[in-house]
Homo-oligomer: A and B are copies of this chain.
Amino acid sequence: MNIYKNMKTKKVDVAIIGHGSAGISAYKAAIKHTKNIVVIEGGEYGTSCARNGCMPSKLLISGGNAAKAIRDAYSFGISTHKTEIDDQKVMERVRSLRDQFVSKITNHIENIPKTHKIQGFAKFLDNNTLQIGKDRKVTAKTIIIATGSTPRLLPNFSELGTLGITNEDVFEWKKLPQSVAIFGTGVIGMELGQALERLGVRVTIFGRSGNVGSFSDPDIQEAANHLYHGEIDIFPGAEIQEMVPERKKVHIRFTSMYGNELEQNFDYVLSAIGRIPNVKKLDLNKTSLDLDSRGMPVYDPESMQCGKSNIFIAGDANGEKSLLHEAVDEGTIAGKNAALFPKVSKGSRRVPIGIVFTEPEMAVVGKLYRELPKESFVVGSVDFSFDKRSQMLNKNRGKMNLYIDKKSKKLLGAEMIGPKTEHIAHLLSWAIGFHATLDQLLEMPFYHPTVEEAIRSALNNAKKKI
């Protein structure tokens, strides 16, 4: 008996599963070539980025930094009495601007014709067929998986009940709690941890790797490991002995990297140990796709095509970096290729760039240190302690390493922790994009006094070594 026989079936050229950043841009790219498209969304329309990712986290950070600026003013000769952080107002601002940003995206979604939208969870029946919920079916020439990702949870996290949270819960807080334990020293853990600490929450950050952030350059990693210890209580190599709910708090007993056993209670435990692509429930095993050991489809990052199949994957769903601008590019490439299938072309990908918006900021650009063949490059180094503009701003902490190819003298990549690195990272990523050599870079303007002059110091350092 064929249980699918009586289902309503919709036939389309392109079916897009998921309508976040990647799905939206896939739709925009595909609609240029075919009007026969459907977007299937199981959860809320809109993006992780705007709803509970980059946007609200940067809003929370703005609040945290505003509070920190008051404390920092002292070093300039300016003091204040009694700083009051109105946490309700802080969170209202976060949500109100967040909701504005989200509404711009949902407005866009409302403009998509109703016939192009299906609400429900999709599962593959085969390479061309999706089942939506219980009683609907979509057959499609091509399918784009743009289902996004979900926070990875700590083992036994469910035992904590409502005391165990993720980044998605933080932005719904009407008031700030007194204390939070954060697990994870990556971008989410560090950004939220520092912002909450600056807003008066008692924060402890736990990690397992022993490192703060994740640099591949041991030199920059060491700088990062040191620099945050003056900023926040952080145990990057902690071993958790016990974590149990106890009188509406979570009791954590742990051993530090240096062997000390400590105990603390927290209002909440925030799991920020990574994100999991939302592909588990798609029944990918019903397709012909090659799946890797994690159950992830093997795909080409330049065409977003899974093998030689009619299925494409874009955005967080593919398990690469969770970055909005990459998700948008991937969606655009996937949308175009899905619409024009079987004609599949490679889209151009941008120079990689990653930024953690903490203070000091962390960033990586272009090729990572570990991706470069040893002996093939020199390292141009600068210590921000001696950078004049950074000294003026009282932010002269951090280090940057640039990687210059020995043969071509081209800038290949950089890793850094320091002040204003979101801007430095852009400048360097564009320089890589323009295939700039060391000597060409030294001919660019470096206005005085700006933090950009630190780049020149690093370039001059590399020049000496070449």
Contact = CB atoms under 8 A, between A and B. Distances in A.
A364 to B, nearest CB: 11
A76 B62 contact: yes
A445 B427 CA distance: 10
Contact of A324 (B352, B389, B429, B448): B448
Given A80-B83, A89-B77, A436-B434, A449 B66 contact: no
A430 B84 CA distance: 43
Contact of A70 (B58, B80, B388, B393): B80
Contacts of A355: 447, 450
A217 interface: no
B77 A443 contact: no
* Copies of this chain, whole number: 2
A446 to B, nearest CB: 6
Interface string A290-325: 000000000000000000000000000000000111
A11 interface: no
Given A351-B445, A353-B445, A427-B427, A70 B78 contact: yes
B429 A444 contact: yes
A172 interface: no
5 shortest A-B CB distances, which residue pairs? A77-B89, A423-B423, A77-B90, A69-B69, A434-B434
Interface of A: 49, 54-55, 58-59, 62-63, 66-67, 69-70, 72-73, 75-93, 97, 101, 323-325, 348, 350-353, 355, 388-389, 391-394, 420, 422-423, 425-427, 429-431, 433-434, 436, 440, 443-450, 452
